[in-house]
Structure 1
Amino acid sequence: MTESTDAPASDGAASDGTAGTDLLLLDTASLYFRAFFGVPDSIKAPDGTPVNAVRGLLDMIATLVTDRRPDRLVACWDDDWRPAFRVEAIPSYKAHRVAREEPGTTGVEEVPDKLTPQVPVIVEVLAALGIARVGAPGYEADDVIGTLTAREVARTAEGDGAPVGPTDRARVEVVTGDRDLFQLVDDAAGVRVLYPSKGVKHLELVDQARLAERYGVRSGAGYADMAVLRGDPSDGLPGVPGIGEKTAVALLDRYGDLAGVLAARDAGDAGLTATQRRRLTEAADYLAVAPKVVQVARDAPVGDVDDALPAAPADPEALDALTERWGLGSSVRRVLEALSR
């Protein structure tokens, strides 16, 4: 992985011509999984332990800080990768990713053997750097991101409400390899997603125009409604059998949102074919609970967060020791150079 360490533009613009962001939220597990699979596991510590995910994530952070110029940064964490409230609603939720059952949990996630020992190293390095790492008991990182986004939008609600365009400074940018978080996109609130389609140097900026162009939905909320109807095999969500993405988008375009589609079903609206009405009726139990599973929480129990971007490491001695032990020199140096700017 080759990451840029070029100095940012002097006018405050990010390197892609946009004006950067006030708050940058990282879907951390999504990013370190991508780093693990994108960086060769021949990248090892002096003792032979693979550190490809650690170094890949640090290089991502260095590039993001350099390119996006955030005022604040939070590495959002999965305190619970498969929350009980989602499993209770739809038992198949992420069931195919359970490596083994364990009492008192909804299962232990299947994680590559060479990645497992790297996660605690990531935790220690982020702490030594002084980068906020935040989770919430019983919730996923998606929910932490949704909650912090909602707080930031509420905090800035006194603004003029004008949509934030692609070249404007965003209030919140979410960096994730998970399309589920497209539901947070909101131009008027200044929220957009950065999706690493080809590595962190090739971020796809997802705003409402991009959602309309790529998926045919008008908003982040529309994307969530489409995901409910379509389902998502990667998360174990069945969707409505026989209603794929194209049909889901057509129904939402006709009736406005999921509530409108269900109202049309219940009213026997002539705009629905007999087959569509039957499929929606047969899936009534699923449709009653699926929005709770698909929609990210906006009220997860996240405490106050010191999210200021650190200009220097919080614990230089610990960082030096970790850097030496795990052979992280060049990656840590890139992060420190980015933070110092």
Structure 2
Amino acid sequence: MSLSDLENGFFPEEVVLQILARLPIKSLFRCKSVCKLWYRLPSNKYFIQLYNEVSSKNPMVLVELIKSFYVKSSFICVDRLRGVSEFSLDFLNDRVKVRASCNGLLCCASVPNKGVYYVCNPLTREFKLLPRTRERPMTRFHPDDEATLVGLAFNVSNQKFNVVLAGFYRPFGHRPLDSFVCVVFDSETNTWRKSISSRSDEFTHMNRNQVVFANGSLHWLTYSCLYILVFDLDNEVWRKISLPGEVIARSGNRVHLLELDGSVSIIQISEAWMNIWALKNYEREEWCTVDKVSLRCIRGLVPSVFPISQTSEFVFLATQRQILVYHRNSRVWKEMYSVKNTFSYPLWFSAHAFRSTLFSCHQGLDYS
């Protein structure tokens, strides 16, 4: 089909938009030179929403390849439809670590400059440097340095995002006290708000890395794996959600927190099975079983397998050196990426759920 066919109306405009909405962002930007209409598409409100609806059905996995603490990381994006591609965060002009991912945006912490955070769209290369949480030197409590919990909540309906940093208060030279300090950044006001509450929750490295945004709240799985710690962004209050009874009863199995088509989900991995639940009734805390997957085909990888992202159709998982995808309908496993050379960190150590989006991290832009 030639360009003249499109210009002469061979395809209805809506069909053309549906086709363009399925392109990678890099390819879409290359198409801007075709005509004035296509040039304006990446900033058109309707097309941005259409693009996001399409891409939400095709989640990806972002992997930060950490060679050394002193060397800048490289990044790859694993897409079950398009394979593996490399991309860079060099546009930030800083050495950063990805701390959270939500709906196509990333929250990154500066490695050399403690307390400096960015929110960016790595595919459009737009970013926002967040104001510092305080002006004084950062020595008193975790949120100003390396927060125990970092959460990013990006609401695609109003294009507003929040960053949450939370940790335990630590008087200088002492062990942390039972005071949970939380600071919340609001993209609408471009300011931080602080609250202090009394908590005693503990988190492993991976539990605090896997944070899920759903129902207007951020969710973390605690170290004990007995409940989920929830931060309600609208009311700025903390609460707990109990895990499915079957999960609590089965000790010794690994439990992971993920998102599943807009709902909070729990995945439990044992030697032979991967059991998946979804929180279908949020207020009543009612869980339902989604799937039970045999791990016989990847038996040798089970000790290191770690679920990263999922939909009703497939599950992305990481191991020490591989990214796998499991297709639920066909019950087929496929290796999407494998580290061939020497690598010091396991891939699940720095893998994040991700998706392609045109949404900007700059609140209040005038889309037409």
TM-score by length of 2: 0.26
Higher strand share: 2
Higher relative contact order (CA 8 A, sep 6+): 1
Higher helix share: 1
TM-score by length of 1: 0.27
